[in-house]
Amino acid sequence: MGTILAFDFGEKRIGVATGETMLCSAHPLTTIHAESNEDRFAAIGKLVAEWQPEQLVVGLPTHADGTPHEMTRLATKFGERLARRFNLPVSYADERLTSLDAEARLRETGRNSKTAKPLLDAVAAQLILQTWFESPHHVIPAQPSA
């Protein structure tokens, strides 16, 4: 039982969400805007220190049929770096269509594309984490590679 941080990895922005394993409910937290990997991981380090998660979850992008592509490789590499840097287990969750779902949810709240954009990645991370909570396999974390 504890806190989980989830990430919607992107080359320009990283959406972050949080949730509690006891409640199995995810909430958008923030979006990291940083040019360098050093700055990105510094921002993530602050969140890890503040939230003290027991687990990290990274959205795994794939083609609609589930086959991997370049962003799949980059998200996996990001997850491996998180595991090594923060010494926490990292799991992956299917993120197909989460950005479209996040856009639709934000539109339902009356936001247009301009007012929704700052929240989009964090809401996508929320949907990734909710997917992970609802997965029967979410208790099997991927361990850092040697």
Regarding predicted confidence, which is higher, 1 or 12? 12
Could you tell me if residue 141 is inside a domain?
no
CA distances from 120 to 73, 103, 125, 140 (A): 22, 7, 9, 28
Range of the domain at 103: 3-134
User: Where residue 73 sits, what CATH number does that domain have?
Assistant: 3.30.420.140
| Paired tokens of 76 | 């996996």
Is position 143 within any domain? no
Q: What is the pLDDT confidence band of residue 92, given thresholds at 50, 70 and 90?
A: very high
* 5 membership: H or E segment, kind and range: strand 3-8
CA distance 116 to 139: 32
Question: For a pLDDT cut of 90, what percent of the chain falls above it?
Answer: 49
Q: Residue type for 26, please? A: A
71 within some domain: yes
Asked, for residue 140, whether it belongs to a domain, the answer is no
Q: Which amino acid is at 113?
A: S
Lowest mean pLDDT among 3-17, 54-68, 128-142: 128-142
Min mean pLDDT across 1-10, 71-80, 96-105 is at 96-105
How far is residue 74's CA from residue 91's CA, in Å, rounded to a whole number?
Answer: 15
Q: Assign 35 a pLDDT band (cuts: 50, 70, 90).
A: confident
Look at residues 116, 58, 129, 118 and name the one whose alpha carbon lies nearest to residue 90. Answer: 58
- Per the domain annotation, does 139 fall within a domain? no
Tell me what the mean pLDDT of segment 78-94 comes to: 95
Q: State the Cα angle at 14 between 12 and 19, rounded to 5°.
A: 170
Structure-token pair, residue 116: 């929704």
| Mean pLDDT for the stretch of residues 50-70 | 89
Tell whether the model's pLDDT for residue 143 goes beyond 60.
no
Q: Over 60: is that where the pLDDT of 139 sits?
A: no
Q: How many domains does the chain have?
A: 1
Q: Is residue 57 part of a domain?
A: yes
